[in-house]
Every structure is written in C-alpha cells, then in structure tokens.
Structure 1
C-alpha cells in the first residue's frame, strides 16, 4: 500500500510548538429567490459592498458567484466574527441585487448564463479548457494556515494526504444538480474532476521537486500558470500558507470554523512530524483518488477508505482517529472544547448534504425548501 520515501532535511522556519495563524476563503452562489436558478449579478453585489466587506471580497469565475476572504486570524472567535460579518454583508448586497446568498457546493437547479467575467485570464482559461470551463458554478471553502517556509509547506502537504479524504467527507454540501439528488454527497467534487489541475495532492520530495513539476505542467499546457495548481492541499500561490481546498463551502458558520480548526490542528501536527523526521507515507495515487471519490460519494453516512491501514471503515471511526491525532494541537491552540462540541453537533445533525436530503425526504422533493433552509443557515450567527 505504501513505500518508504526519500526525505529532505527537516526545515526549521516554524517551531513545532508555535501557534499558527489561519484564514478562510468562502465561495457563495447568487440564486433567484423564486426559482433557485443561478443569477449573473455578481458585479452588482460586489459594487454594493462597503468598507471592510468590499476589501475582503473577490470576483470569481462565474457571474453567479462571490468569494469572501477573512483577514489573517489568531483564534477561532476572531475567525468566526469575521465569517459572520462577511456572510451578512454579502447577503445584504445580494438582496439589493434581487438575489440571495446561498452557501452550497454546486449549482442546485440550473445556470443559464455561463460566460466568464471580462478578464484576460478567464478568457484564456475558457479558450484552453473549452466546455469544462463553462460547467455550472461550484463553491468551495479554502483554509489557509500560516507556514511561511515553502520547504516545510511542501513536506506538510505530503503528510496531510491520508487525512484529506476525511476532511472532504466532513464538508460535503452539494448532493443536488439539475434539481435532483445526484447520489453523491459532494457533486462539486465530481464536477471538478474534469479539470486537469484539480485533484489529490501528489507527493513531492522537496520544494524544488514541486516547482519543477509545476513548471513541467505549465510547459505542457495543463495549467496556464502556477496559480492554476488546484490540488486539495498546496503551498499557497498568494500567501505564506498551506492551503487546504478540498471541501465544499459549508452551510453554517460553525461548520466552517470547525473545519478551519481541524485543518489548523492537522497542519500543526504535521509540522511536528516533519521536525521529528517522521516520513510521510508514499500512498499510491490510484488509492488516494479512490479515497477521495468515496468521500465525495458517502460523506459521513457510510464508509471511507483508510489510506494508512487499508480497507474501508465506518466514516465516524476515521473522524475519531483524526480527532485523536490532532488533540494535542487543538489543546495547544485552545480549540479542543469547541471542536468537541461541534463534532458532537455534526454527528447529531449530519453533514450539509445529509441535512439537505432530510428536507427533500420530508417535503417530497421540494428543492425550494432546501434552498430556503440553506439561505437561512448561510447568515445565521
């Protein structure tokens, strides 16, 4: 299942007991309140934002999407306050544009307008990737954890690989497509598989190996530039961070904060492993891809692949092992009580996908009831 890797000398830029900073990028859909269809009003929404919310917003690849970006945060309370404020500001601006802001991972009904914003890079992506670049909009949650040394960031990403399918399963929030249940808990994950630069994080022996691989992919035309590295974990192209981008956007703020806390604790734990000289497992790519497919299909309502021991196991057993692995890091950051409470809530309420499916079952397939619920969760404090 694994083979012993060659290891680079452990970098020393981040102390293994350091408290790490974090930040979150959340993408949202702009939906018609009556039909649930995607509305191409992002320009109007962004223009309507004011103050800090405007500074923390980003134009996205679809006219029906906006992205809100928190500042760098030191603790979960600070992060949560920023997420609540940014979601509410974006929701108010969306309402003024005749839309509503919804935290859902994939276009639930349909998207008639699939042209890209009028930017040279977006047009180049459209020409290069054709119909793939015009799929309906999808929305993710990207967690950044401060790791300023690139060598260390690359090694941390190697160590994260066995745990990323579990993080993916925690975040599934897109079972619907074209108004129907796809049978997948994260349709966003399946839709994104058509892009050549999105998917499981490869193993790299060093930062130089990472850079050479990216350069080869750009030279081959697989990516336009290094910013198109969309692997599930990567050294950020823009910030001195490890960026984990495997998850659907979360329906509620506390879901997002839970994910951010676990990602930070995972990164902190892997920093310790790198400093201790513990090698990352060399997992076979086909097994990693299979584990991610299973996570996207099942969420936490079935079994997941255990990439460390082999075989499939109940999803919540692997969540429990994840929690045990990162408990020291959670305690060091002061996050352990909150994470324990939120994992217990998640087990009671289910993932975003499970919540949507309960409403579908209760209402006889009323997608609008699902979207009403998601819109309310998006801005709840």
Structure 2
C-alpha cells in the first residue's frame, strides 16, 4: 500500500499571563471551555496541545492551525492570558513547572524527576499519512538527513531560565535528554521497530509506546509518519513551510523505496551532530550537507535552498512548489523565531519585549505583520548586522539615519563626502605612517553613517569594562609588588617574569601608584548581539581624540542627520582625562602629555588631547630634571604627572643631546616626585598571551564572575595548545604577543597556503612569541559604497576607554566616547594602517541619567 500523504499537525502552546509576562499554570481552566477532540492537556499545566483535522493540502492545514489558535486565544483571554507557540517561553524559569494531575504524568515525574521538571518546552508535530507501517519505518530512515534543516527553520527557543542560551533551539537540547529521543538507529521493518519499543518498555526505561520520542516515528495513535524534531512556530506559515517540505521529502523517499534505490546510511553520531548544529545556530550558522558523501558545513540558507531544489518534483506533484518556495524565501529573509526574538531583545535589552513579540506573532496572521518601512533591497543582509534585519528592514535605532541617507541619494552623499574630506584636510585629521622614505600623513577616513550603541548595551559595557579595568590595575600593582598571584599559583612565574612586556625596573615605582590611568578595550559584537572583549590596551591606547573628532566632523558636514535626544557628548572625555591625571598629582604642578612628536602615528591625537584637556604637550627636549624634580624647560613649571604617549619605552628615551632623560624621569617617579600615567612595565598586561588570564584576574582579585566574555585564546608556549594550533593555523587568527596596530596578524581563513605555511614555521620556531584566537564573526553596520551607489554592510569593532584613579569600583569610569573602527570591503581587519576607517559612535544615555549631551 502506498502513502496517502494527507496532513495534520499537533501544536503545543504556552499560556502566558499578559500582565506578568510569565508562564501561567491555568491550562485546566482554559481547557474546560474547549472542545476535547481538538484541545488537550500536556505534561505541564502551562501548556495546551491542539490537534488539527486531517487535511489534504497546505492551505487546509493553514486554515486548521489558524482556527485552533483562534479558539485557544479567545478561551485564554477570559483569564487574562495570551498564547505563545515557541519552543521555550522567554521568561520561563525552573520554578514555573507545575505537573498536570494524571496518574501517567505522576508516574513519569516520579521516574524521571529533574528531566520532567525541565519540560517547559513546546514543539510542533507534523503528521503525513502513511498507513503502511513498514513503508513508514523505511521512509523515516531515508529522510533523516533533512531533519536538521527543518529544525533550523523552526528554531524558536534561544531563551531559557531568563537568559540567552547561545542556542537557537535550547528545546532540542532539553528534549534530547529523554532516553527514547533522537534516532532509532537502522531498522528493517515495522516489526523490528515494534520489538525495539517492546524492549524499551520491558527495560523499564519507558512506560508505554507514547514515550517513543524519536525525532521522526510512526505515530502511536494514527496511520501517519510523525515529525517531532521541530520547535513550536509562532508564525503559522513557518509550520506550513515545514509541513510542505516534510511531506515532499516523505514522498521522495517513498519513490526511492518503490524504485529499489538503496537507503543512504547516516551514522548515528553524524546524525546527532547535524541535529546539534541546527539547534545551536539555526538559520544563522552552518548546517551539515551530506550530499556527495562526507558531510560538510554549509551556510544554513544554502542548505535550505538545496533541500527545496531536491524535492521540487514532489512539491510540484502536490501543487505546493510555488507556495513552499515563497514561504522558504520569506523565512530566510525574516529569519526564524530565534533570530527575531534576539532582535527584539537587543533593541532594549528587555525580555518583556520578546514575550510581547512571540505572543503577537502567535495571535496574528499566518505570515506575521507586514514591515512598516521600505526594505533595503540591494543591501547584503547577514546575521549579526546591527542596523538591518534579515528581512532587509532597518532596525528601529537606525531608521531615521538610513532614511536620511536615502533622501540624500548618491549625489547628496558624494557632496557630503567631499565636504568631509575638506574638513578633515583643514584640521589634519590623519594618522602618520613611517616608511623608509620618511613619514607621511594618511587621511583618517570617517564614514558618514554613524554606529549606534543603545543605552542597555552601554550599561552592560560599563559594568563589564569597569570590572576588567579594576582587575588589570590590581594585577599590575601585584606583579610589580607582592606577587601574590604568582605565589598562589594562579599564574606560573615564567608566564610573567621575563615575558615580552615585563620590565623589572617597574618594581621600583611606588606601591600605591596607579599604573594604567587610561585603558582602552577593543570589543566585538557577535551575531547574537553579545559583546566580547577582543584585546586589552594598557600601554598606549589611542583613539579618544579620533572619536571626538568624528562627532565634530559629523556635526559640521551632516548637521541635518536626525540625532537621538539621548546622544552623549564625547567631548566630556577631555575633562575626564584631565581629572584622572590630576587625581594623583600634587597641587600646583602641571600635567604634561609626553609625545614622540610629529613622527608619531597618533600625532593628531596628542595635539588634540593636550589642547582639549589642558595639558602641556612636550617632547624629550622639553623636559629637564633638576634636584629630584621634573621641570618643563620653556616655562620652568614643575611637572606633576606625565601622560606617556611615546613610540619608544620611557627608559630608552633620550633628548637631542643624547641625555637619557627617560631614565632620569623614571628615577624621579620611583622616588615619588612625578606620576607616570601608563607607566613602563604595563606591557605585561597588554601582552596578547596575558589576555587569556584576565577572567582569572577578575575571579582572583575581585571575587566576581566576569561580566564580559573573552575570545577563546591559545597560549602557544603550552605544548598541547601549540600542537592543536599548528594543525589549525588556516582556521584561526594568529598574532604576535607584543603586537599592536594589526601588525603581524594573520586571519587563517583569508590567508594563502604560503602564508599559513610561513606562520606555522614562525610559531614552531618561537612559540612564546605568538597567540592564536578563534575567528570571531564581527557584527556589521551599513557604510556608503560609492561604487555600488548604495549602503552595504561593513564589519566593525569598538574601542572604549576607562579612566582609572584607583582599584575601587567608583574609581574607574567609562568615558562617554567610543571609537568604531570599520574594516574594508571583504575584510575583518579594522586598523587604519591596514585600510580600515571609522564611524562616529552614537552612545545613548541610559534612562534617567543626567549627562552632558549633544
């Protein structure tokens, strides 16, 4: 007997208290008002299950799902409840679980304990009519390679227990803990499948045949093949899409059976790997493509389209091709529910916004609400874009800016860019490049589309970076003092003393000296909206003046661009810098910025900081040391604090006559006669290898958990890590431990085979000189592409600055300025010296804060 290929669906739906946004355990009350043939209880009292009638078409399935949702929504509304068809309710916590009072569920709870308590999850089950159970068992094994794609399309459970899990479908991970979940393994007949169930029941591991929770199975109660792997879908059209693909894949498998084609064998571990990968990344990551033999990771949209193409003949047979292909492209454009939930959360950092979204989508039309603004049709959308969603719709924080650029058009933007370039030339907004033929100024390019940092993001960064700055300052004082961290075995002595950034003479500085009053942190934002620290800069962090200049340029060149009311003024960093430098200086003494002069790469910044913060700008020839005091030669004023912005170490600094003025200044500092801001020896904390240990500093010195994540980093002086890295140089980022400005960085996936081979040799020759990091998918923000005449995404990072006057939380302050650095087209390297540019960074003030604004 062949397969009837009828359709049906079961949906599990959460009940949400519309006032508290929490799960509600009032399913018994709601079910008392509903038809028992279509609505039923589930394991947990926060969930209702719906069961559609059997239909023959996707249109019929859509109508059934909408009909049943409408009935449940109306019944739930009488108790002030809403309905959410998602894998996990965003605000669900372990304490929300309340067991439905039946003997069967009570037995399950007694047997499985915590496993049952975790089941605050909802799925969508699709049924396809296959009355012949032998055929159903054969089909279910042949369609296994398609299941990860269907899971990725459905993924709707990124949040669990009040936090983002990092998974698109954490429901899958929870569900797979059941002993009867996942794959059955190879089976030859329905009789063998039945014996498997009998053996499981006899073992006592499951109680009955309904507990066969395999990802796909012959139904326990209907002549159908049942898909069980998918999350609940808030948009009905996503469930319809999955049903269309599942039915077409089942029909293709049936035809293969009838034609006597051999069954493809997918080893169970590879199948499990594919399911896990789909649960982890959803439509934003890679999926395993098993076509052509060995599985390989491919971008999820490519895998979706490949499945669509492979079952096109069957979709056309059912008359579904046009509908399913349109639904697939719509799903890829808007992202799955996990993508949309994360976008809702990033906008304000509020889980209530996520709950509101999933309830509105579940209650709404099959396709969801139509976009409220025009799409950027030519924009290359990607997961992790901060300004534009996968549906090419500008996000709320960027709508006015993008509309302004649209109205300017190519001619208007070109005119503004010409004004920008003239403004920058007049003010020498540039960095200096030293080459064999001499030094020259290179324009510091500022893109005219700003980057927006939302208030809740800035608060998150403030807390995390202040914590990190305190720990680093503690570490510097400790390693050049009592060295408790070495004595307690948290760090091996050889990793610190004698490392590239270590300077033994720095132990002579006063014990209470603030070693790094100015810290810079490079951060990246991944595709999920999470911030990570990429590097710590405590020797000579640059960028404050460039960030301030970017705002001044924008105000002069595009004054009509709409600006949020909460926009903070970056120029307040000048006063913050001055007060920080003077906090440890004796009254009546002058603060001085000590520069290497016009040949320094950041000469523009040195001049601008000195002018804006009221500092004397000096070089080696401008200082004198007389009777244990540092003096400014031209004025004779005593110098209380020296902010070091040198291209050489202070201890190597000589004036024009060859006098070792740097050594003399250091001796005064060691005696307490002058404060050195960003002192010699700070390079030990700036060391790329030491970066990996900063989370340990936080735990050791502050007794806190790190608030910001770091990028996975390999210290190559460790033999085990070195061996692993040498095998993966082409997949990793490798950097010199004491490098800066992007020099020596090799991004493996973008490197040639010769470059990878050369880097392996360099690492093998001097492993302690190198670190490796996993490649981070930097977020993107639109920039104007003059060649294309439109906006296009460019990768960005962020440099933020903390000013430090001590190790207390109230003695570290995140400045209201940040520098967004922009990589060129097709690159991940953002440094200006490597062709990168910058953006004005619009930092928005947290609600209720009275701060200077522009």
Question: What residue in structure 2 maps to residue 44 of structure 1?
Answer: 29
CA RMSD, 1 decimal: 1.4
1:253-292 alignment runs, 5 A limit: 253-292=236-275
- CA deviation after TM superposition for structure 1 residue 101, in Å: 0.7
| Counterparts of 2:272 and 2:347, CA distance in 1 | 34
What does 1:80-95 correspond to in 2, within 5 Å?
A: 80-95=62-77
Residues in 2 aligned to 1:72 and 1:178: alpha-carbon distance in whole angstroms: 36
1:54 Cα shift? Answer: 4.2
User: More displaced, 258-267 or 276-285?
Assistant: 276-285
TM-score by length of 2: 0.42
Aligned residues: 362
Instruction: Determine whether 1:373 maps to 2:357.
Output: yes
| Residue among 303, 316, 328 paired with 2:301 | 316
d(CA) in 1 for partners of 2:52, 2:286: 33
- 1:376: Cα distance to partner? 1.1
Aligned partner of 1:355 among 340, 348, 355? 340
Task: Give the distance between the partners of 2:324 and 2:117, measured in 1 at CA.
Answer: 38
Q: Which residue of 2 aligns with 1:325?
A: 310
2:37 pairs with one of 55, 75, 81: 55
The gaps in structure 1 that reach 5 residues or longer are: 1-12
SS in 2 for 1:73: coil
Aligned counterparts of 1:201 and 1:39: Cα–Cα separation in 2: 35
1:73 corresponds to 2:55:
yes
CA distance in 2, matches of 1:272, 1:40: 46
Q: Is the 8 A contact 1:107 1:136 kept in 2?
A: no
Q: Pick the aligned partner of 1:34 from 19, 22, 35.
A: 19
The answer for the alignment partner of 1:24 in structure 2 is: 9
Offset, 1:203: 2.1
Query: In structure 2, what is the Cα distance between the partners aligned to 1:187 and 1:39?
Result: 21
Q: 2:2 is matched with which residue?
A: 14
Q: Please say if residues 200 and 292 of structure 1, whose CA atoms lie closer than 8 Å, have aligned partners that are also in contact.
A: no
- Deviation at residue 35 of structure 1 after TM alignment: 2.5
SS across alignment from 1:286: helix
Q: Matches of residues 161-176 of structure 1 in structure 2 within 5 Å? A: 161-176=144-159
Equivalent-residue separation in structure 1 for 2:20 and 2:160 (angstroms): 14
Residue of structure 2 aligned with 1:185, choices 168, 181, 195: 168
Does structure 1 residue 115 correspond to structure 2 residue 98? yes
Deviation at 1:290, TM superposition (A): 1.0
CA shift, 1:118, in A, is: 1.7
Asked if the contact 1:157–1:201 (Cα under 8 Å) also holds between the matched residues in 2, the reply is no
C-alpha distance in structure 2 between counterparts of 1:218 and 1:282, whole Å: 27
The structure with higher relative contact order (CA 8 Å, sep 6+) is 1
- Structure 2, unaligned stretches of length 5 or more? 366-854
Q: Deviations over 1:111-136 (max 9, x none)?
A: 43423222111111111111111114
Give the alignment of 1:233-248 within 5 angstroms: 233-248=216-231
Question: In structure 1, the residue corresponding to 2:50 is in which secondary structure?
Answer: strand
Q: Which residue in the other structure is 1:4 paired with?
A: none
Distance 1:340 1:367 in 2: 33
1:7 corresponds to:
none
| CA distance in 2 between partners of 1:36 and 1:136 (Å) | 19
| Counterparts of 2:193 and 2:5, CA distance in 1 | 23
Does residue 215 (structure 1) correspond to residue 198 (structure 2)? The answer is yes
Q: Which moved more, 1:148-157 or 1:80-89?
A: 80-89
Question: Secondary structure of 1:162's match?
Answer: helix
Q: CA deviation at 1:200?
A: 2.9
1:304 maps onto 2:323 in alignment = no
Regions of 4+ moved over 3 Å:
none
Say whether the 8 Å CA contact 2:46–2:98 is kept in structure 1: no
Bigger helix share: 1
2:218 and 2:127 map into 1 onto residues whose CA distance is 9
Answer whether contact 1:26 1:141 (CA < 8 A) is retained: yes
Q: Tell me the residue number matched to 1:8.
A: none
The structural deviation recorded for 1:31 is 1.2
Task: Select which of 122, 127, 130 maps to 1:147.
Answer: 130
Give the distance between the partners of 2:147 and 2:274, measured in 1 at CA: 9
CA contact (8 A) 1:287 1:307 kept: no
Q: Is the 8 A contact 1:198 1:231 kept in 2?
A: yes
**Partner of 2:113: helix, strand, or coil?**
helix
State the partner residue of 2:815.
Answer: none
Matched, 1:156 2:108: no
Instruction: Classify the secondary structure of the residue corresponding to 1:74.
Output: coil
Look up the SS of the partner of 2:225 in the other structure. Answer: strand
C-alpha displacement of 1:319: 1.0
Counterpart Cα distance in 2 of 1:245 and 1:136: 15
Cα offset, 1:272, TM superposition: 0.7
How far 1:283 moved relative to its partner?
1.5
Distance in 2, matches of 1:203 and 1:161, equals 11
User: 1:166-218: per-residue Cα shift (whole Å, max 9, x none)?
Assistant: 11111100101122211000011111122111123422111122111111111
| Aligned residues of 1:265 and 1:329 also touching (Cα < 8 A) | yes
Quote the Cα distance in structure 2 between the aligned partners of 1:54 and 1:374.
26
Normalising by structure 1, we get a TM-score of: 0.92
Distance, in Å, in 2 between the alignment partners of 1:201 and 1:106 is: 25
Structure 1 contact 20–146 (Cα < 8 Å) conserved? yes
Alpha-carbon shift at residue 352 of structure 1 (Å):
0.6
Distance across 2 between alignment mates of 1:295 and 1:152: 27
Larger relative strand fraction: 2
